[in-house]
């Protein structure tokens, strides 16, 4: 059982009155205040200290029966007759560690496709049968194991066995489902690779585990490399009864279960495939800080940690308590100090993973860029503190009480019980692990806790990872005194000079820009949610030939925006920007005027605490554009296969220059409501929001589709004039 942070935040409950009540909130407050002034009332109803905890009640965990089936599969039956439901769960040694490195993600593909049809049932038929029996079918892969389960009403237990046996012996992996799974995986991966938290997790695991399979992450290349033949071969080699564990929990009878299991899996034979390679986890001589540069990031994602213990280490009990104290919930030190005391983050937690092999300890926080150094220093101080200081008895008692009191909530349902028993057996823990878990936690002494923390909290040999806007946060990190290594979001090494890339000298194809009017539909999570328009016109301002770009954007009730950008028709230099918007009820604007290498104006920018005003009066380097020109500039770029451009743009809503990177990643045929077009696929990074553009290869050069990376918002061309 992994020790995860309790991320739930207490709700604020307000006093409410029935409709028609004449009692106002102010009057209600006065009544309460008056009541508390009566002698003895406050003391009687609101004691100064909480009552002492009652004695721990024993958890009446149901006894379980174990057996070895004729085909070599282990069986555990847990009888629990409180509800008429049952869960049949199978785990085989077939997790991510068994994948070839070039096909990372294979086990996940197998798990998803196992329930997509067999030789006797389509996916729809399987779902209908099981749902008709009051249950569900599920499959998943973790680092070590592939798990398949069927739940049902207990009276339908024979059907649950029948369906599970059908899945593990007759899955067909239809080719159409394989391609759909690949599409879903690539779509999810695109979002994952745009999210700072996901980037941090991927790089952190690679840094901690090195070449060990636990450190791998899927990539677009590895997902595309997986074929149906790979899926069928992995299934045939890894989904075997040898080494498998079948756990049946719920309103069942052990003798009946053994009979059903023996009959259902009688024809399923074979030993498990070869063991997975397990290279050494790299040992660190000192702490190192890795800065992952994500241009334009508005916050920093911090991770700090180290390899920890295996699940079978007896130190798991004191370390579980230590983790609870330092970061295991909203009442732990990291949350209380970084959020409640300083307001640097929405939440900061710690946890340790428990795969079958060596796990990893991790403390994390997502903080504002401006406080990256302060938040990181405090997080590291709290890790040092749990290693080097003896926690107060009150902290230890509170952690024990929380862990012991919440544990019964994790084994209430048949499925939870099956999962707890299966995890214990698969991780190599003793049969009484679940039964005696609370007892062993309660028995931990303060010397045992401090010794375990001192031995295993390797705060002098940590991996510290910070994902954020490199040029801004690097100067803040240097005074912390750790050696710093800089990488990009894919883990490729960077130098400090790489953080501020030089602008590309672009031979603009200005003659390609033609007057036109474009309209788009806005999709949110694939559903129409608004519209947008762009009009490019040639005109003159004060005798100067200019391009005037006007536009509107409407997205549901969230955004209303109009903008007019005037650009020199000969050089594409910005002349003026006028932008007005309503963002979730907040009025905002940008008004800028450019004069040669100078820009002046004002901006009102929406924010979580309301809009704030910004005065702009800045000298710019030659060749700097306005960020509102970006879409127009795409039409004048000399686009070619593999082309890569870096362009400085002034962001008026922020008051500083950003370096945009525009990379041509390929060619695609794109179908939108306006038609089907041969397009260049262009990725833009460095702005406040990463973007993907599809620009026609033929004149007039038009953006026919674009989307925000990592967000379910996209624009599709509906008409061009």
Structure tokens belonging to residue 261: 């299991």
Structure tokens belonging to residue 169: 């012996």
CB-CB contact of 625 with 648 (8 Å): yes
Q: What percent of the chain has pLDDT over 70?
A: 92
Give bridge partners of residue 694 from the DSSP assignment.
681, 705
> pLDDT by residue (tens digit) across 332-347?
999 999 999 999 999 9
In which order are the strands placed within the sheet that holds 299-307? 345-352, 360-368, 299-307, 463-468, 288-293, 484-487, 493-494
What is the 3 state secondary structure string of 82-122? Answer: CCCEEEEEEEECCCHHHCCHHHCCHHHHHHHHCCCEECCCE
The yes-or-no verdict on residue 61 having pLDDT over 90 is no
Specify the pLDDT at position 149.
Answer: 95
> pLDDT by residue (tens digit) across 445-456?
999 999 999 999
Specify the pLDDT at position 480.
Answer: 95
Helix (H, G, I), strand (E, B) or coil at 60: coil
Structure tokens belonging to residue 127: 């779902």
Residue 373: pLDDT band with limits 50, 70, 90: very high
Residue 36: pLDDT band with limits 50, 70, 90: very low
d(CA 92, CA 149): 12
CB-CB contact of 337 with 414 (8 Å): no
CA 661 to chain centre: 25
Contacts for 482 with CB less than 8 Å, ≥ 6 apart: 287, 288, 289, 464
Angstrom distances, CA of residue 285 to CA of 342, 392, 601, 670: 33, 31, 53, 52
Comparing C-alpha atoms, which of 144, 64, 147, 89 is closest to residue 431? 64
Specify the pLDDT at position 712.
Answer: 80
CB-CB contact of 151 with 135 (8 Å): yes
Helix (H, G, I), strand (E, B) or coil at 711: coil
CB-CB contact of 713 with 553 (8 Å): no
Specify the pLDDT at position 709.
Answer: 77
d(CA 148, CA 115): 9
d(CA 227, CA 209): 27
What integer is the mean pLDDT of 642-663?
Answer: 88
What integer is the mean pLDDT of 372-378?
Answer: 97
Task: Work out whether strand 713-720 and strand 703-708 pair parallel, antiparallel, or are unpaired.
Answer: antiparallel
What integer is the mean pLDDT of 89-93?
Answer: 96
> pLDDT by residue (tens digit) across 669-718?
999 999 999 999 999 888 777 889 999 998 888 999 999 876 788 999 99
Structure tokens belonging to residue 166: 């059908």
Angstrom distances, CA of residue 227 to CA of 115, 320, 481: 18, 41, 48
The yes-or-no verdict on residue 12 having pLDDT over 50 is no
Residue 415: pLDDT band with limits 50, 70, 90: confident
CB-CB contact of 149 with 415 (8 Å): yes
φ/ψ of 487, rounded to 5, equals -135, 165
Comparing C-alpha atoms, which of 564, 568, 516 is closest to residue 545? 568
The yes-or-no verdict on residue 288 having pLDDT over 80 is yes
d(CA 553, CA 563): 9
Structure tokens belonging to residue 685: 């990074």
- Beta-strand ranges (E) seen in 501-643 are 516-524, 527-541, 544-555, 559-568, 574-583, 586-595, 598-605, 612-619, 625-626
CB-CB contact of 539 with 622 (8 Å): no
The yes-or-no verdict on residue 59 having pLDDT over 70 is no
d(CA 112, CA 167): 12
Comparing C-alpha atoms, which of 215, 199, 223, 241 is closest to residue 94? 241
Structure tokens belonging to residue 593: 């005027």
Computed over every residue of the chain, the mean pLDDT equals: 88
Long-range CB pairs of 442-449, under 8 A, 24+ apart, other chains included: 442/56, 442/400, 442/404, 443/317, 444/317, 444/318, 444/321, 444/400, 446/390, 446/391, 446/393, 446/396, 448/317, 448/318, 449/318, 449/321, 449/322, 449/391, 449/396
CB-CB contact of 91 with 426 (8 Å): yes
Specify the pLDDT at position 584.
Answer: 84
> pLDDT by residue (tens digit) across 171-219?
999 999 999 999 999 888 888 887 889 999 999 999 999 999 999 999 9
Residue 500: pLDDT band with limits 50, 70, 90: confident
The yes-or-no verdict on residue 498 having pLDDT over 50 is yes
Torsion of CA 551, 523, 189, 193, to 10 degrees: 30
What integer is the mean pLDDT of 716-721?
Answer: 94
CB-CB contact of 203 with 465 (8 Å): yes
CA 241 to chain centre: 34
Specify the pLDDT at position 506.
Answer: 87
Output DSSP code: residue 3: B
Torsion of CA 235, 238, 239, 242, to 10 degrees: 160
Asked which of 21-35, 261-275, 636-650, 694-708 is least confident by mean pLDDT, the reply is 21-35
Specify the pLDDT at position 53.
Answer: 64
Specify the pLDDT at position 58.
Answer: 66
Neighbours of 705 (CB within 10 A): 22
Asked which of 51-65, 351-365, 637-651 is least confident by mean pLDDT, the reply is 51-65
Residue 611: pLDDT band with limits 50, 70, 90: confident
> pLDDT by residue (tens digit) across 121-158?
999 999 999 999 999 999 999 999 999 999 999 999 99
Specify the pLDDT at position 585.
Answer: 86
* Helix (H) or strand (E) segment spanning residue 716: strand 713-720
The yes-or-no verdict on residue 34 having pLDDT over 50 is no
Specify the pLDDT at position 11.
Answer: 33
What integer is the mean pLDDT of 228-257?
Answer: 95
The yes-or-no verdict on residue 18 having pLDDT over 60 is no
Contacts for 666 with CB less than 8 Å, ≥ 6 apart: 641, 680, 681
């Amino acid at each position: 059982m992994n020790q995860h942070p309790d991320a739930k935040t207490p709700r604020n409950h307000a006093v409410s009155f029935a409709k028609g009540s004449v009692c106002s909130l102010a009057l209600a407050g006065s009544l309460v205040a008056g009541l508390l002034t009566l002698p003895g009332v406050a003391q009687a109803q609101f004691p100064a200290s909480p009552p002492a905890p009652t004695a721990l009640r024993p958890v009446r965990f149901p006894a379980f029966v174990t057996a070895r089936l004729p085909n070599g599969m282990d069986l555990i039956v847990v009888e629990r007759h409180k509800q008429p439901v049952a869960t049949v769960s199978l785990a085989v040694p077939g997790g991510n560690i068994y994948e070839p490195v070039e096909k990372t993600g294979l086990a996940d593909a197998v798990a998803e496709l196992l329930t997509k049809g067999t030789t006797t049932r389509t996916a729809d038929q399987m779902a209908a049968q099981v749902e008709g029996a009051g249950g569900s079918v599920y499959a998943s892969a973790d680092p070590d194991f592939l798990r398949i389960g069927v739940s049902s009403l207990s009276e339908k237990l024979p059907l649950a066995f029948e369906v599970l046996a059908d899945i593990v012996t007759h899955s067909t992996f239809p080719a159409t489902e394989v391609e759909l799974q690949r599409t879903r995986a690539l779509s999810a991966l695109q979002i994952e690779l745009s999210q700072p938290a996901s980037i941090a997790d991927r790089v952190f695991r690679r840094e901690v585990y090195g070449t060990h399979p636990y450190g791998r992450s899927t990539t677009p290349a590895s997902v595309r490399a997986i074929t149906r033949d790979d899926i069928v071969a992995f299934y045939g080699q890894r989904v075997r009864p040898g080494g498998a564990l079948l756990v049946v929990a719920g309103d069942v009878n052990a003798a009946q279960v053994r009979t059903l299991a023996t009959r259902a899996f009688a024809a399923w034979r074979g030993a498990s495939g070869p063991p997975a390679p397990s290279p050494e986890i790299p040992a660190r001589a000192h702490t190192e800080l890795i800065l992952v540069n994500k241009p334009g990031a508005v916050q920093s994602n911090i991770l700090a940690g180290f390899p920890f213990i295996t699940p079978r280490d007896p130190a798991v009990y004191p370390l579980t308590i230590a983790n609870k104290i330092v970061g295991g919930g909203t009442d732990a030190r990291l949350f209380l100090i970084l959020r409640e005391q300083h307001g640097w983050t929405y939440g900061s937690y710690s946890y340790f993973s428990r795969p079958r092999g060596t796990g990893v300890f991790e403390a994390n926080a997502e903080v504002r860029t401006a406080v990256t150094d302060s938040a990181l220093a405090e997080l590291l101080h709290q890790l040092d503190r749990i290693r080097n200081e003896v926690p107060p008895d009150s902290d230890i008692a509170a952690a024990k009480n929380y862990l012991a009191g919440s544990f019964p909530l994790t084994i209430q349902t048949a499925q939870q019980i099956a999962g707890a028993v299966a995890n214990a057996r698969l991780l190599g823990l003793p049969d009484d692990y679940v039964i005696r878990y609370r007892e062993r936690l309660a028995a931990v002494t303060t010397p045992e806790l401090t010794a375990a923390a001192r031995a295993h909290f390797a705060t002098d040999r940590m991996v510290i990872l910070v994902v954020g806007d490199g040029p801004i946060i690097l100067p803040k990190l240097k005074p912390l005194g750790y050696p710093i290594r800089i990488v990009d979001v894919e883990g490729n090494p960077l130098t400090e000079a790489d953080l501020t890339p030089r602008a590309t000298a672009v031979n603009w194809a200005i003659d390609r820009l033609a007057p036109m009017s474009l309209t788009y539909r806005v999709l949110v999570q694939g559903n129409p949610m608004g519209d947008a328009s762009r009009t490019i016109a040639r005109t003159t301002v004060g005798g100067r030939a200019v391009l005037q770009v006007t536009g509107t954007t409407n997205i549901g009730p969230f955004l209303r925006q109009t903008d007019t950008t005037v650009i020199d028709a000969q050089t594409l230099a910005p002349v003026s920007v006028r932008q007005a918007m309503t963002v979730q009820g907040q009025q905002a604007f940008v008004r800028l005027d450019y004069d040669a290498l100078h820009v002046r104006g004002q901006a009102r920018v929406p924010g979580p605490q309301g809009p704030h005003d910004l005065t702009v009066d800045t000298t710019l380097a030659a060749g700097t554009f306005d960020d509102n020109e970006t879409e127009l500039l795409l039409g004048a770029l000399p686009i070619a296969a593999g082309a890569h451009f870096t362009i400085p743009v002034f962001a008026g809503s922020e008051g500083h220059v950003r370096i945009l990177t525009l990379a041509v990643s390929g060619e695609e045929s794109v179908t939108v409501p306006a038609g089907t077009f041969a397009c260049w696929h262009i990725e833009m990074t460095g702005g406040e929001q990463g973007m993907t553009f599809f620009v026609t290869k033929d004149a007039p050069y038009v953006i026919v589709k674009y989307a925000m990376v990592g967000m379910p918002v996209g624009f599709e061309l509906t008409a061009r004039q």
